[in-house]
Chains A and B, each alone.
Chain A
Amino acid sequence: MASLKALKIRIGSVKSTQKITKAMKMVAAAKLRRAQEAAIAGRPYAERLEAVMASLASKVGVTEGSSKLLAGTGRDQVHLLVVATSERGLAGAFNTNIVRAARKKAEELEAAGKTVRFYLAGKKGRVLRRFYPNAIAADHELGQHKVLGFDQAREVADDLIARFEAGEFDVAHLFYAKFQSALVQIPTGQQIIPVSVPAGSSVEMANDGDATVEYEPDEEAILAELLPRNVAIQIFRAMQENAASEQGSRMTAMDNATRNAGDMIKRLSIQYNRARQAAITTELVEIISGAEAL
């Protein structure tokens, strides 16, 4: 049996660990609320943009001259997987799940004979280097920014579009964790380039009687300007979802850790008390038998 002193030290160390996990949980809970608010605040813009894009795209249609962002390069060989992860660990399976989703997609694509490259946005996606050391196109760190703003998303989007125009890839997918609740985050993959236009909302817009809408300059010019903006917005949305998911995931993980530490302290205390009692009993037996021997 471990000595009394060793047990006492052990209990102390578990207690301080518990304090840390508890504090992290509270911080995550506070940050989660803020991240959720930010995600909700960003919704109107994304919804408006999507509606406008859909109505424009259905009007203009995909022709020879349309932007490559809409029509694609005409090939389907090189796929770029944009993996958006967090900058910090200790968030449960948050990053692991995103990376796993991306790897699954990569394996599918490779099985179909496609070339797969990775674009890492966030530090914790770097584990992919181990599996695909030669397929990392870029490693974009977001750590220096305390609050993720639209500018960071824009940076990533501009970089992506430049690479797309340089012909580095044909199709881009974006991986992130969709926030559902503090307990549930769904790793999601979606295609961002070429832009897939939602078909459902275009019908709704057409009924709006916007046949008389005047366009300045014209539909195609507006669409050409909106397409890159749409990529940035999708990345921004993913970042916001990710931020909320990360905090939610961390909160849950730290709550579990705090509870585990509590259980451990309980178990160790019982062990400690037993050891102490055993020591007292032994001492008493020694004294009594000593007295009897006299």
Chain B
Amino acid sequence: MLHFELVTPERLVRSEEVYMVTVPGTEGDFGVLEGHAPLMSTIRDGDLLVQRSAGAVPETIAIRGGFAEVNAKGLTVLAEHAG
């Protein structure tokens, strides 16, 4: 499972284990699964798709402004606005 964190300046919105997250990157959307290579990307305003398990219907979280970071610990999305 992938450890996924969504943080805004006001609070920690999500911190959970999920299957896959699709992030709206500035240079195109990218999906993050467990064991993804380290990556840092800015994001454009758009929807974050969170799949709790393989094949599950993705949950949509609208985010605005920020960046995403993938490291050994998982995926962290820092957004100015979420939800």
Contact = CB atoms under 8 A, between A and B. Distances in A.
Contact of A45 (B7, B27, B41): B7
A41 B76 CA distance: 16
B78 A222 contact: no
A35 to B, nearest CB: 13
B56 interface: no
A132 interface: no
A38 B10 contact: yes
Contacts of A42: 9-11
A222 B42 contact: yes
Contacts of A149: 10
B57 interface: no
Contacts of B27: 216-217
Given A212-B37, A216-B40, A222 B67 contact: yes
B65 interface: yes
Q: How large is the interface on A (under 10, 10 to 19, 20 to 34, 35 or more residues)?
A: 20 to 34
Interface string A52-88: 1000000000000000000000000000000000000
A238 interface: no
Nearest to A224: B42
Interface stretch (A176-184, A192-200, A225-233): A225-233
Interface string B39-83: 111100000000000000000000001110101000010101100
Given A154-B80, A215-B41, A216-B40, A45 B9 contact: yes
Given A217-B26, A225-B67, A150 B40 contact: no
Interface in A118-154: 149-150, 153-154
Contacts of A44: 5, 7, 12
A49 B76 CA distance: 11
Classify the interface of chain A: helix, strand, loop or mixed.
helix
A225 B80 contact: no
A154 B10 CA distance: 13
A23 B69 CA distance: 47
A229 B27 CA distance: 20
A212 B38 contact: yes
Contact of B38 (A46, A49, A210, A233): A210
A292 interface: no
B10 A213 contact: no
A150 B8 contact: yes
A229 B9 CA distance: 10
B39 A214 contact: yes
Contacts of B25: 216
A139 B78 CA distance: 31
A274 B71 CA distance: 78
Contacts of A208: 71
A5 interface: no
B45 to A, nearest CB: 13
B5 to A, nearest CB: 8
A41 B10 contact: yes
A46 B7 CA distance: 10
Contact of B78 (A48, A154, A216, A221): A48
A46 B39 CA distance: 20
A32 to B, nearest CB: 18
Interface of A: 38, 41-42, 44-46, 48-49, 52, 149-150, 153-154, 208, 210, 212-217, 221-222, 225-226, 229, 232-233, 236
Closest 7 pairs between A and B when the two form their complex, measured CB to CB: A216-B41, A41-B11, A213-B38, A150-B9, A45-B7, A214-B39, A45-B9
